[in-house]
């Protein structure tokens, strides 16, 4: 489906990648609502999830305008199946323990801030305005997750061990964040999205700065990586997330009053 | 809007009777007189009405003081109000639009169009000095300084209750996305800080 797409479709799919990653991570974080380790974390996690949903809405609204099938933003979020979702695999991974939740968030935030900062220079005005809005929110997200990485990594022996184990487990999902495919290469040539090498540089810098401060070991960038999320090939986890997230909209399609 | 027990002001924007319609209908001109003349609206009085609209999450501060209303423009037949959300995920956005419609239509204005703008992105620099004072009165510390990268480095935040700078951050996120939670070491009160963003 992705191959041989027209430029507009290419941008449409790229916007879905951004929106879907935001939405799925947000849904994962919402699972912790009422179940977070402390009240302050509960507030932080829910607020991060809220920011991500808001940004996803902005991307979906733009995607909806470019959609060849003319679907609405709500339809794109709640009525597509797992193979039509283009989020990165990292965000669909389970919350696990707090070390895993925070490490997943940190890897994502470091990428998210790098990509948003660079999208502010996009040739597309709409992308630019959505990114400049989101970039400020995401700086706060990265600040919070970095602080936790440092506090727990450089904490007790047990917290350090749990953090390192979370990093080692989730590292294999990070390759997808920083490698491009032909679709992204085409958009980059048109000046719509940044050079993936630039994103990799920015991402690597945040990861290395924080992990060294946290006294954690930085895994190998050449390690074997999972891929496919951006092309619609997911781990078995996404189906369960969608089943819960989309239940109402699928049971009562086009309902106007809830 | 029915939930407030008032007629829906949306019905006022939906009917545009003077568009190309051949059907016999009640025209606005029948009620309001000749629409070819400029309406006797002026921007100042519209801003005055908007100043009365309070932010739903911080009810002591108006949406004008928060810098959410970006512009008001008048054409012959339409009032356009441009609003910008404080945060992408601000859940109050739709409610704020409804409150603007309600306030303007109760003040006798009609044919109001509310437009959402994302650019330039809202920043805490848009909060007026009146707004900052009202935040303090409500027990919320206003954003410190103006926005730049350095805003993300911890600063001394003054307690809105006793003015002490001996405070600490409790949580990066407070009761809403736009606030962080702090505590004052001197008066021991916890307080919200409106983030510099």
Provide the token pair at B91: 């859940």
pLDDT for B1 equals 37
Q: Extract the tokens encoding A57.
A: 């809405």
Both B19 and B102 in a single domain?
yes
The interface pTM score, or ipTM, of the predicted complex is 0.79
pLDDT of residue B29: 53
- For the stretch B57-98, pLDDT in tens is 888 899 999 999 999 988 877 889 999 999 988 888 889 999
Task: Determine the pLDDT at residue B108.
Answer: 84
Residues B43 and B88 in one domain: yes
Residue range A7-251 in CATH 3.40.50.12160: no
CA distance A11 to B156: 44
Is pLDDT above 60 for B20? no
Which chain B residues touch A48 with a CB distance below 8 Å? 173
Pairwise CB contact (< 8 Å): B173 & A132: no
**B35 and B73, same domain (yes or no):** yes
Give the gap in angstroms from C-alpha A129 to the nearest C-alpha of chain B.
5
In a domain, residue B156? The reply is: yes
Please state, rounded to an integer, the average pLDDT across all residues of chain B.
Answer: 79
Residues of A in contact with B181 (CB under 8 A): 40, 43
Burial of A5 (0-12, 13-18, 19+ CB in 10 A): middle
pLDDT at residue number B31: 53
- Smallest CA–CA separation between A62 and chain B, in Å? 12
Among B63, B84, B116, identify where a domain stops: B116
**Whole-structure pTM value:** 0.86
Q: Is position B162 within any domain? A: yes
The whole-number pLDDT of residue B166 equals 92
Residue B186 scores a pLDDT above 60: yes
The answer to whether residues B131 and B94 belong to one domain is no
Asked whether residue B104 falls in the same domain as residue B132, the answer is no
Within this chain, do residues B70 and B104 fall inside the same structural domain, yes or no?
A: yes
Q: What is the pLDDT of residue A255?
A: 82
Strand partners, B71: B82
Last residue of a domain, one of B116, B143, B167: B116
Predicted confidence band of residue B172 (pLDDT cuts 50, 70, 90): confident
Higher pLDDT, B155 or B28: B155
Q: Which residues of B touch A136 (CB under 8 A)?
A: 121, 123, 147, 197
With pLDDT > 70 as the criterion, what percentage of chain B qualifies? 75
- CA terminus-to-terminus distance, chain A: 34
Does B122 contact chain A (CB < 8 Å)? Answer: yes
- Please determine, for residue B149, whether its predicted confidence score (pLDDT) is greater than 80: no
Is B86 found in the same domain as B156? no
CATH code, B88: 3.30.300.130
Q: Where does a domain end: B116, B144, B164?
A: B116
> Which has more pLDDT, A186 or B146?
A186
Check residue B7 and give its pLDDT.
44
Could you tell me if residue B121 is inside a domain?
Answer: no
Q: Are A90 and A227 in contact (CB under 8 A)?
A: no
Alpha-carbon span A250 to B10, nearest angstrom: 29
Q: Give yes or no for residue B3 having a pLDDT over 80.
A: no
- Whether B178 maps to a domain, the answer reads yes
Give the Cα separation of B43 and A191 in Å (integer): 40
Kindly state whether residue B180 falls inside one of the protein's structural domains.
yes
3-state percent breakdown (helix, strand, coil) of chain B, nearest 5: 25, 20, 55
Determine the structural domain holding residue B130 and report its residue range. 126-194
Domain tally, chain B:
2
Interface probe for A, chosen from B10, B115, B154, B172 (most Cβ of A below 10 Å), is: B172
Looking at residue B6, its pLDDT comes to 45
Low-confidence spans in chain A with pLDDT less than 70 = 1-8, 258
């Amino acid at each position: 489906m992705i191959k041989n797409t027209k430029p507009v479709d290419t941008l449409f799919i790229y916007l879905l990648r951004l929106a879907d990653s935001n939405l799925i991570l947000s849904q994962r974080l919402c699972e912790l609502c009422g179940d977070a380790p402390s009240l302050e974390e509960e507030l932080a996690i829910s607020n991060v999830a809220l920011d991500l949903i808001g940004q996803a809405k902005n991307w979906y609204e733009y995607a909806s305008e470019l959609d060849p099938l003319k679907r609405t933003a709500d339809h794109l979020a709640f009525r597509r199946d797992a193979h039509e979702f283009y989020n990165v695999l990292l965000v669909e991974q389970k919350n696990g323990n707090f070390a895993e939740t925070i490490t997943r968030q940190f890897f994502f935030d470091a990428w998210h801030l790098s990509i948003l900062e660079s999208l502010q220079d996009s040739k597309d005005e709409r992308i630019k305005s959505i990114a400049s809005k989101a970039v400020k929110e995401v700086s706060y997200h990265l600040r919070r997750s970095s602080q936790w990485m440092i506090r727990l990594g450089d904490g007790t022996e047990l917290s350090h061990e749990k953090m390192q184990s979370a990093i080692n487990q989730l590292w294999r999902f990070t390759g997808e964040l920083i490698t491009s495919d032909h679709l992204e290469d085409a958009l980059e040539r048109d000046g719509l999205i940044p050079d993936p090498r630039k994103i990799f540089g920015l991402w690597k810098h945040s990861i290395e700065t924080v992990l060294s401060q946290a006294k954690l070991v930085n895994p190998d960038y050449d390690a074997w990586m999972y891929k496919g999320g951006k092309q619609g090939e997911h781990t078995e986890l996404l189906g369960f997330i969608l089943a819960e997230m989309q239940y109402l909209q699928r049971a009562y399609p086009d309902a106007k009053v809830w | 809007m029915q939930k407030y027990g008032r007629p829906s002001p949306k019905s006022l924007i939906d009917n545009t009777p003077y568009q190309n319609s051949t059907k016999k209908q009640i025209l606005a001109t029948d009620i309001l007189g000749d629409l070819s003349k400029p309406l006797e609206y002026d921007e100042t009085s519209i801003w005055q009405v908007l100043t009365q609209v309070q932010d739903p999450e911080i009810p002591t501060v108006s949406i004008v003081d928060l810098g959410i209303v970006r512009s008001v423009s008048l054409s012959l037949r339409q009032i356009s109000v441009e609003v910008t959300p404080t945060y992408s995920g601000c859940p109050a956005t739709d409610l704020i639009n409804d409150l603007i419609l309600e306030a303007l239509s109760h003040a006798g204005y009609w044919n109001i169009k509310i437009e959402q703008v994302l650019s330039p992105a809202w920043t805490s620099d848009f909060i007026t000095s009146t707004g900052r004072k009202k935040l303090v009165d409500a027990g919320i510390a206003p954003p410190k300084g103006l926005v730049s990268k350095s805003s993300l480095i911890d600063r001394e935040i003054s307690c809105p209750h006793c003015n002490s700078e001996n405070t600490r951050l409790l949580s990066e996120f407070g009761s809403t996305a736009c606030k962080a939670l702090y505590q004052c070491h001197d008066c021991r009160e916890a307080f919200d800080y409106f983030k510099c963003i």
